[in-house]
């Protein structure tokens, strides 16, 4: 791997107050693992498309299969992965199950991620 000139300090320096401040807020090993797992679950094109749809509206599996052009089994599998990761939630409405994003944090991740990708295209 080629090292870029800006990837390292040209002069040794140390900022103890800054390092101490950051260290107080730095994620521990377990929360870092949990965050990595969240991004791992989000790192799938189909799941991102499902989350994007659910960001726009609460939907049932039938709606998602139609939107994504996938079969119900495949969509249900991905929803199960997302539900197990507490990224989406389900509620029974009559004979159907409606899916939505689990909370505002998930909505924020999808919104900010979408905005970031759209800005990269400019």
Domains and CATH numbers, the chain: 17-120 (1.10.10.10)
The DSSP H or E segment spanning 85 is: none
Task: Compute the average pLDDT of residues 94-102.
Answer: 96
Kindly report whether the global pTM for this prediction surpasses the value 0.95. no
pLDDT over 60 at 1, yes or no: no
Provide the pLDDT for residue 13: 83
What is the side-by-side order of every strand in the sheet holding 88-93? 59-60, 96-101, 88-93
Residue-wise pLDDT tens digits, 83-94: 999 999 999 999
Which tokens go with 62?
């039938």
Record the tokens describing residue 29, joined without a space: 């090993």
Per-residue pLDDT tens for 65-77? 999 999 999 999 9
The residue among 50, 77, 78 whose CA lies nearest residue 63 is 50
| Spatial separation of the C-alpha atoms in residues 12 and 33, rounded to whole Å | 31
């Amino acid at each position: 791997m080629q090292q870029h000139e800006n990837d390292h300090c040209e002069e040794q320096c140390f900022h103890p107050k800054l390092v101490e401040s950051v260290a107080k807020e730095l994620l521990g090993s377990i929360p870092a693992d949990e965050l990595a797992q969240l991004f791992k679950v989000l790192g799938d094109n189909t799941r991102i498309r499902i989350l994007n749809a659910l960001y726009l509206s609460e939907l049932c599996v039938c709606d998602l299969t139609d939107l994504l052009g996938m079969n119900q089994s495949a969509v249900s599998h991905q929803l199960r992965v997302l539900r197990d990761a507490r990224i989406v939630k389900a509620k029974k409405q009559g004979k159907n199950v409606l899916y939505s994003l689990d909370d505002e944090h998930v909505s924020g991740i999808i919104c900010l991620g979408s905005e970031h990708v759209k800005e990269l295209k400019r």
